[in-house]
Amino acid sequence: MNIKSTHKVGLPPGTLVHVGKKKIEQIKFELIEYNQENYKFSEFTSADDCLQNLTLKDVTWLNINGLHDTKAIAAIGEKFKLHPLLLEDVLDTHQRPKFEDFENYLFVSLKLLRLKENGKSFVSEQISLVLGVNWLISFQEERADLFDDIQLRLKESKGNIRLKSSDYLLYRLIDTVVDNYFFVTDYMSDTISAIEEQVIKNPEESVMIEIQALKKQLIKFRKVVVPLRDVLSSIQKDETKIVDNFTLNYFRDVHDHIIQVIETIELQKESLSSLTDLYLSGISNKMNKIMQMLTIIATIFIPLTFIVGVYGMNFDNLPELHFKYGYFYIWGLMIGIILMMIRYFKRKKWL
Amino acid sequence: MNIKSTHKVGLPPGTLVHVGKKKIEQIKFELIEYNQENYKFSEFTSADDCLQNLTLKDVTWLNINGLHDTKAIAAIGEKFKLHPLLLEDVLDTHQRPKFEDFENYLFVSLKLLRLKENGKSFVSEQISLVLGVNWLISFQEERADLFDDIQLRLKESKGNIRLKSSDYLLYRLIDTVVDNYFFVTDYMSDTISAIEEQVIKNPEESVMIEIQALKKQLIKFRKVVVPLRDVLSSIQKDETKIVDNFTLNYFRDVHDHIIQVIETIELQKESLSSLTDLYLSGISNKMNKIMQMLTIIATIFIPLTFIVGVYGMNFDNLPELHFKYGYFYIWGLMIGIILMMIRYFKRKKWL
Amino acid sequence: MNIKSTHKVGLPPGTLVHVGKKKIEQIKFELIEYNQENYKFSEFTSADDCLQNLTLKDVTWLNINGLHDTKAIAAIGEKFKLHPLLLEDVLDTHQRPKFEDFENYLFVSLKLLRLKENGKSFVSEQISLVLGVNWLISFQEERADLFDDIQLRLKESKGNIRLKSSDYLLYRLIDTVVDNYFFVTDYMSDTISAIEEQVIKNPEESVMIEIQALKKQLIKFRKVVVPLRDVLSSIQKDETKIVDNFTLNYFRDVHDHIIQVIETIELQKESLSSLTDLYLSGISNKMNKIMQMLTIIATIFIPLTFIVGVYGMNFDNLPELHFKYGYFYIWGLMIGIILMMIRYFKRKKWL
Amino acid sequence: MNIKSTHKVGLPPGTLVHVGKKKIEQIKFELIEYNQENYKFSEFTSADDCLQNLTLKDVTWLNINGLHDTKAIAAIGEKFKLHPLLLEDVLDTHQRPKFEDFENYLFVSLKLLRLKENGKSFVSEQISLVLGVNWLISFQEERADLFDDIQLRLKESKGNIRLKSSDYLLYRLIDTVVDNYFFVTDYMSDTISAIEEQVIKNPEESVMIEIQALKKQLIKFRKVVVPLRDVLSSIQKDETKIVDNFTLNYFRDVHDHIIQVIETIELQKESLSSLTDLYLSGISNKMNKIMQMLTIIATIFIPLTFIVGVYGMNFDNLPELHFKYGYFYIWGLMIGIILMMIRYFKRKKWL
Amino acid sequence: MNIKSTHKVGLPPGTLVHVGKKKIEQIKFELIEYNQENYKFSEFTSADDCLQNLTLKDVTWLNINGLHDTKAIAAIGEKFKLHPLLLEDVLDTHQRPKFEDFENYLFVSLKLLRLKENGKSFVSEQISLVLGVNWLISFQEERADLFDDIQLRLKESKGNIRLKSSDYLLYRLIDTVVDNYFFVTDYMSDTISAIEEQVIKNPEESVMIEIQALKKQLIKFRKVVVPLRDVLSSIQKDETKIVDNFTLNYFRDVHDHIIQVIETIELQKESLSSLTDLYLSGISNKMNKIMQMLTIIATIFIPLTFIVGVYGMNFDNLPELHFKYGYFYIWGLMIGIILMMIRYFKRKKWL
């Protein structure tokens, strides 16, 4: 159970260091500008090019994919006057989800969960969002397909997304990430069902290990989701007015979804500990059955072995040995004992 | 343990989609208008017909059965200026119970629980209520018989229900749903009693599975009831004055009932874990008895078998074999050992 | 474990129905009027007679025994302008203890616990108290002896009870009920001590059932007491001034007693789960001892049986059989093995 | 586990009754008056004598040892205008620690813990303190040596104790009692260490009983300390200004000590439940070893016994019996089986 | 499990006593004065020398290594007008981390954790920090290498540390200590992983002891970290303005790190109890396997031993003995039984 922190230790604050894996070769800057009428998409590979093209006249979404080029990130930070600690948080991909209000802009950091290709576990990826009046910057380690749909919708002006400002865009990004959590809860749910079936049918040792592994995944999942609930509470209570009142209703909605996810996680944790109980009782029952079998066999045959032992003795004077049908009488006796025992065990419902 | 979310994922907010099963063929609109003197009931199958007949002069209750016709729902929404997110919540039947204050109207969503026909489990059905000044809209997936009584009472003006406005009607609808929860707690209570009896008489493996299943049902039940408590707190604290002060006393009463339901659920959960303890101790005792039996048999017969083995040896010089009553002496010895053992086990209370 | 609700379901609010058993034949109205100088006691069997004699000049205590005559109760309610929901709560004897402030009067509902005649369990009886300025009404299912002492004290003017108003009387009634809870905790305490002794001496199966039964009683007891704590907090925080500041000190005192009762209950619950642990470890130890015994017997005699088996073989050429003292040598060997084994088991502290 | 309440039941409030054991023959009144220059100590055996000598010019500490003379206590109460409920609390030695603000004076009740002479358990003794402006009354069941040191310090004017008023004296008394709790935690700590060693070395049945007994002691200890934390919070928040701002810093310090004691208790409770786990796993391991031994013996000798049984058969035609070295071959076979088995068990790490 | 308090008991408050081990021979005073342009470092071995050189013109950091010379500490305290209780807390190295606001300066006490040389456990060392306007005093038991880096940074003016005042220095010191906690969580994490592997591979008795030991370490670790969280909350809420608003952002950052540490500890505690479950189920499984083996052996050979016993009987008339191929028939029968049994056990998945 490797729950290591991969925190950068010993560096002075303000030093920009990318904590995490370099996931893509080339950092990319996607600049999307839109208003009710227009939509403009441009892509850059250098921060300077991008910043030169920035006008901030329309609603502006700057989506940055890749975090390993700290200089570029610093340039962006300078342009938008972002606090050095904010940039540090963006680069440190082992942050817990958080919200901070820097007066002129809001900072939200959250985790995107992706099912691994083996379909067995999840990778979490950090997404950092900075929301100003009319602009939003999103930082990702690598491009998430998840946001394609929103870009398409912006381009084709489906829904009323282009009628609204960057605060609504923030909502849509967070909503997309949260919606994705439901895939995780569904996956967990299926796995729990499968384990439950196995526990009832055949409580093998490996089941316990699987249960513990799943519990660990749930704990990690909860660690990602619970702070996000606080993030959303904080957004709703925020007083900067960067998020306008109308949009707050939407955040209330995502908030509800997160609570639903958390409740499901709690429920699944309870299910897992129920399964542990079920498994342990299953093992005890198995043991009981093993012991019953041993007891039945021993209880029937140990007395019989004694009897035949008696007539295997070599006493000069052992009268029964000389009875004509002694051997057959003894068999009769032994069969009688067996039948009696079987009846006894049947009454005890052991057979 | 399938605790899947059936949340609609990936759709933009504001898209009206019915999440749930289509339970009836034809959506129906029941329009009930009443004041102290008059009562008028009309039924429509199209939203437009219904809306044309709507005057809102008297207290108006619009009861909509069936949610699959999203256009009709949208039309109603438009007429009453309902927020798009509210309509979404109405259509998404996997919501947790909630209360929202939209300034001009209040929204309450809750779950009706119905015993399934096999008498073994429960279906939950979502009921959404929108309360305005003098009007109330209720949305259900299919017509709940539960509300027949209230309609009858309105028609025949029993009690003082027609003297009061739509806020009192809201109370009556919620009260009816909550009263129904007591059937569920009673059913749970009976089942727990039955299981308890079985645990004490015969702790079989299946009992544990039943206990876990019941626990799961209780958890689901609690998931339905606990948020409703918050709903009722919120109604009582609401500042819109749509619910007038006099009616608030009634809501306080339902609130108490819900707390009683929740307390009963907690109590039942504690009972179930007591039963788990009892079951596990029952299994251990069973094992102890099995082992006692084995030990008694083995302890008596293993030494005896040794003794008869001794006199089955073929030594040329084994004097006892040639004693005249050797065989009988040995029997005496063996019977003595048996009696001693029995006495010993009796003193130990094993026999 | 029958934890049924006996809530009346499906009836409209405001319908007065007595939920509970009819415990006495004839409802009785005791009217006690007193001030510093005078004390007057009168008893009626009809509500009308009682109400005609009511002057409300002095401090007035109206004690009603029996709840099955709903008309009489309704008449009282009308006279004192009691809210219909209050009357409902009075009649529904399955209420949880509660406090409600109706502006002109306060309502307190609590439970009296009585030891059953078999000395083994408790009956709970509901007492409802309505406190107005200078008057108090108490409703009981049947006459509780508990209040005799207070009536006597009022009559004989012991203590300073007659110097004070109905708020002090309310305190005295609640105090009497709470004092009675200490009998219950003492009974529980004795039972736990008895069980503990048995668990240590002989952990039998029945003990576990007793522990679970007691746990259930404790849970029910707590369910009665915990809401009463809130009742007392509410009285202390109440702003109607029906209870005057001086008397509040006394309520603070009862409040402390209830907290003491609750703490004792929690302590006893912890004791019970300690006993469960102790019991389970006792069973395991018992099993260990059974298995030790089996193992000792088997370990000593199985090898010996093998040895005698060896010399029971019929090989033509088995030299030891023809040794003159072979038989005795073998006995020597076997006794040696036995001694060795006994020493081994002694060192292991099994013997 | 006798957790009886020894609450006085059924008596009207205001009746002064000493609940507890009479611990000393003669109630004693120690009157200490001091200011920066002077220190006067006088001892009385009657309340009247004491009260006549009372001037209240200097800082006055009245220390009362013995509570059984309720009249004397009442006289003191009258002189200082103490509330009757306060006096009741002083006399009822089964109070939980509490703080009450009576406007003109503050009341603090707490428990002194003393190690019993057998060094195995603790007696708790109630100390009640009433603090007014410039005076302090302390009530004890018997004289606690603990306060000698403070009297000495007052007399010899060590430290700056005589420069300060009675609020500082209150602090010093409470501090002395709390410091004493550290002896209890140390004693608990040593006992836990001793038990832990035994659990690891030899998990005997008695250990479990000891663990449970210690748990019970810890629970009782916590019951004494936790309310005291609240007492100290209340003192710090008190608004009467009887305790002046400067002295509050000192109370903050005692508060910290109590939190430290509570944390240690929680830690020790966790240790005890860890020990329970350890003990139970120790028992299971013991069982495993017993069963291993049985299984080894049985697995080796049962097949061998079968083999020798085969050659003990009396068939006319049993060729191996007539082989010249048949007997020795069989021994070879059996030794082979034994060696194989031993190797097998060694590989399984059973031997 | 020695969780002793090493609190000084019975001494009057204000007495300066060093509670802890004397770790270095000679107390040392490092005086560091800096502003944007200058940096001056001087070291003294006497408090007086140090205080004479103190100008307090620039930002001043006085770092004191060694606490056993209480007079020197008192001298420092006098110079800076430190409260006697503060000095006591500095000297008592068994304090829990705390924050106190003394109006003119703030006091922070926290624990530095160091990995012991055996790499198996941790030593905790107390660091006390007093922050005034423009000055900071740090007290340590012995010189921590940890602060070397900060001194170097101050000297070489790396980062912007010299641009800021003593409040930023306070942040840097706390941050360094907190960063160090991540080494502890990593160490814990590795140990847990190692134990997990062993539990799955071979659940030996020693594992349980290791788990319990680690749990104890985690509890102690948590005891150090949790109060520090409160310390940081208090700093953020402090109203003295000694820490300026800009620096508060940095404290918010450390606060986040501490929460991350606490969450990791909670997660690791959950992991450990999962491991306990896993271990116990591992033991049960081991037992099941032992019993299976015994049962298989016994079930196969006990009946066979009975059969050979039958033909070892000495009846005169036992016809099978005289069959020509009787012996071989019997072998056939026995081999048949063996095969049948093996098949049976295979179907039961015991083999």
* Structural domain includes residue B3: no
For C112, phi and psi rounded to 5 degrees?
-95, 135
- Tens of pLDDT, residue by residue, chain C (351 residues): 344 444 555 566 666 777 777 677 788 999 999 988 889 999 999 889 999 998 888 999 999 998 888 889 999 999 999 998 899 889 988 888 999 998 899 999 999 998 777 767 788 889 999 999 999 999 998 887 778 888 888 888 766 788 889 999 999 999 999 988 988 998 899 999 999 999 888 888 888 889 988 998 898 899 899 999 999 999 998 888 899 888 888 898 899 999 999 999 998 998 998 899 889 888 888 888 888 889 999 999 999 999 999 999 999 989 989 999 999 999 999 999 999 999 999 998 887
Q: How far apart are CA B277 and CA B123, in angstroms?
A: 30
Tokens representing D37 are 């220059």
pLDDT at A10: 54
Residue type, D114: R
pLDDT at D175: 92
pLDDT higher than 70, residue A4: no
pLDDT higher than 80, residue A73: yes
Tokens representing A235 are 């957004």
Q: Which residue has the higher pLDDT, A12 or D104?
A: D104
Residue type, A60: T
B185: which residues sit within 8 A by CB, 6+ positions away? B261, B264, B265, B268, C3, C4, C5
Domain identity same for B237 and B274 = yes
Residue of chain A nearest B302, judged by CA positions: A302
Beta carbons of B309 and C308 less than 8 Å apart: yes
pLDDT at D3: 43
| A247 and A232 Cβ atoms separated by less than 8 Å | no
pLDDT band at B311 (very low <50, low <70, confident <90, very high): very high
Domain identity same for A54 and A202 = yes
Q: Which residue has the higher pLDDT, C20 or E80?
A: E80
The CATH number assigned to the domain holding C298 equals 1.20.58.340
Q: Which residue has the tokens 């603990």?
A: D146
pLDDT higher than 80, residue D235: yes
> Chain E: nearest CA to D292, how far in angstroms?
6
* Structural domain includes residue A20: no
Domain count, chain E: 2
pLDDT band at D10 (very low <50, low <70, confident <90, very high): low
- For A205-259, how does the pLDDT look when each residue is reduced to its tens digit (9 = 90+)? 888 889 988 998 898 899 899 999 999 999 998 888 899 888 888 898 899 999 9
Query: Of all helices (H) and strands (E), which one includes residue D92?
Result: none
* Structural domain includes residue A19: no
- For D300-317, how does the pLDDT look when each residue is reduced to its tens digit (9 = 90+)? 999 999 999 999 999 998
Q: Which residue has the tokens 């007008």?
A: E81
Domain identity same for C224 and C330 = no
- For B89-114, how does the pLDDT look when each residue is reduced to its tens digit (9 = 90+)? 899 888 889 999 988 999 999 999 98
Q: How far apart are CA D228 and CA D237, in angstroms?
A: 14
Domain identity same for D35 and D159 = yes
Q: How many CB atoms are located within 10 Å of the residue E2 CB?
A: 11
> Chain B: nearest CA to C23, how far in angstroms?
24
Percent of the residues in chain B that have a pLDDT greater than 70, as a whole number? 94
- Domain finish residue from B246, B280, B314: B280
Beta carbons of B83 and A315 less than 8 Å apart: no
Beta carbons of E193 and A85 less than 8 Å apart: no
The CATH number assigned to the domain holding D264 equals 3.30.460.20
pLDDT higher than 50, residue E55: yes
Chain A neighbors of B14, CB-CB under 8 A: 159-160
Beta carbons of B312 and A316 less than 8 Å apart: no
Q: How far apart are CA C285 and CA D286, in angstroms?
A: 10
Residue among E3, E98, E283 whose CB faces D285 most closely: E283
Residue E312: DSSP 8-state: T
* Structural domain includes residue D76: yes
Q: What is the 3-state secondary structure (H, E, C) of D111-156?
A: EEEEECCCCCCEEEEEEEEEECCCEEEEEECCCCHHHHHHHHHHHH
Domain identity same for B167 and B240 = yes
Beta carbons of C291 and D293 less than 8 Å apart: no
Chain C neighbors of D325, CB-CB under 8 A: 317
pLDDT at D202: 82
C245: which residues sit within 8 A by CB, 6+ positions away? none
Tokens representing B91 are 């259509």
Beta carbons of D3 and C182 less than 8 Å apart: no
* Structural domain includes residue A199: yes
Interface probe for D, chosen from E103, E217, E294 (most Cβ of D below 10 Å), is E294
Q: Which domain holds residue B319?
A: 282-347
Using alpha carbons, select from D96, D90, D93 the residue that is nearest to residue D220.
D96
Residue among D12, D98, D318 whose CB faces C153 most closely: D12
- Domain finish residue from A281, A315, A338: A281
Domain identity same for A247 and A313 = no
- Domain finish residue from E280, E302, E326: E280
Chain B neighbors of A285, CB-CB under 8 A: 205, 283
Chain D neighbors of E209, CB-CB under 8 A: 200, 278
Beta carbons of A1 and E193 less than 8 Å apart: yes
pLDDT at C92: 87
Beta carbons of A172 and B12 less than 8 Å apart: yes
Domain identity same for A258 and A297 = no
Q: Which residue has the higher pLDDT, B123 or C144?
A: B123
Q: How far apart are CA E43 and CA D49, in angstroms?
A: 66
> Chain A: nearest CA to B307, how far in angstroms?
9
| E56 and E131 Cβ atoms separated by less than 8 Å | no
How many CB pairs lie under 8 A apart between chains A and E?
168
List D112's β-bridge partners, or say none. D125
Query: Of all helices (H) and strands (E), which one includes residue D31?
Result: strand D28-34
Q: Give the ranges where A202-317 is alpha helix by DSSP (H).
A: 205-237, 245-310
- For A111-151, how does the pLDDT look when each residue is reduced to its tens digit (9 = 90+)? 999 877 766 778 888 999 999 999 999 999 888 777 888 88
Residues B201-221, mean pLDDT to the nearest whole number: 88
pLDDT higher than 90, residue E59: yes
Chain C neighbors of D7, CB-CB under 8 A: 179, 182, 257, 260
* Structural domain includes residue A4: no
Q: How far apart are CA D148 and CA D154, in angstroms?
A: 10
3-class secondary structure, B68: coil
Query: Of all helices (H) and strands (E), which one includes residue B124?
Result: strand B122-131
Residues E61-66, mean pLDDT to the nearest whole number: 93
pTM of the model: 0.81
Strand order in the sheet with C98-101: C39-44, C28-34, C59-65, C135-140, C122-132, C106-115, C98-101
- For B216-234, how does the pLDDT look when each residue is reduced to its tens digit (9 = 90+)? 889 889 989 999 999 999 9
pLDDT band at B249 (very low <50, low <70, confident <90, very high): confident
Residue among E256, E295, E319 whose CB faces A290 most closely: E295
pLDDT at B8: 55
* Structural domain includes residue E18: no
| C45 and C26 Cβ atoms separated by less than 8 Å | yes
| B94 and B20 Cβ atoms separated by less than 8 Å | yes
Chain E neighbors of A308, CB-CB under 8 A: 306, 309-310, 312-313
Q: How far apart are CA A91 and CA C321, in angstroms?
A: 89
Domain identity same for B255 and B147 = yes
Mean pLDDT of chain D: 87
Q: How far apart are CA A31 and CA A53, in angstroms?
A: 9
Domain identity same for B65 and B112 = yes
Domain identity same for D117 and D174 = yes
pLDDT higher than 50, residue B22: yes
Percent of the residues in chain D that have a pLDDT greater than 90, as a whole number? 46
Q: What own/partner pairs with CB < 8 Å and gap ≥ 24 does E99-102 have? A: E99/E230, E99/E231, E99/E234, E99/E235, E100/D252, E101/E234, E101/E238, E101/E240
Domain identity same for C291 and C211 = no
Domain identity same for D275 and D296 = no
pLDDT band at B1 (very low <50, low <70, confident <90, very high): very low
* Structural domain includes residue B198: yes
pLDDT higher than 60, residue E21: yes
> Chain A: nearest CA to B295, how far in angstroms?
9
Give the orientation angle of helix B245-310 with respect to helix C84-91, to 10 degrees: 20
pLDDT at A332: 95
